[in-house]
Amino acid sequence: MTAKIIDGVAIAKSIRAQCRLDVQALNRRTGISPGLAVILVGDNPASAIYVRNKIRACQEVGISSFKFEYPHDIDPQIVLQKIADLNEDPSVHGILVQLPLPRQFDMTAVLHAIDSTKDVDGFHLYNVGALITGNAVFPPCTPYGVMKMLEHEGIGLEGKNVVVVGASNIVGKPMALMLMQRDATVAICHAKTRDLAQFTL
């Protein structure tokens, strides 16, 4: 089989163009303008860039964005209260807490504080569990993006043998579950896998 490079940038541009049309249609039909709230704690340069790109993407497709920045030594209860407020805010349809968080935070508590219907990263326990049945409100973004690229390229998965390298809760495990939903046979490799090459041949 000849390897093929998938142009993720071109696919993303196409998806954003469709999202813009969808947002306009939603607004015409219901008067609703989608809103995304992003919480950024600390001064991690990579996180700042990531958040800036997300806000730029929102602007491109017509989604309102709200950024809430906090210093690295903020009391976690203040952030949890902000999440509670955003859960009740009808103008906010998605909430994203940029990771990683400073060490004083209980990451699990923060992610589970987000309403599962606004959990756009798909990290809430409800959405993680619902991946097993294929009923997640929001699937985790990175594996979902991989699935969209495979769909765009017309790459069928039914009956295929697929290897996922990495078993993280954010990418590897949900990726495997999404592939199984499409009837692929999945092997998950990780740091303790013996002879990785035998799986990736």
Write out the catalytic residue numbers. Answer: 54, 98, 121
Output the CA torsion sign for 15, 18, 20, 24: negative
Say if residues 145 and 9 touch (Cβ distance below 8 Å): no
Distances (CA, A) of 60 to 67, 88, 176: 16, 26, 31
Beta bridge mates, 97: 39
User: Tokens in use for 172?
Assistant: 């590897």
Q: Please, what is the Cα angle at 173 between 150 and 40, to 5 degrees?
A: 90
**First and final C-alpha spacing in the chain:** 11
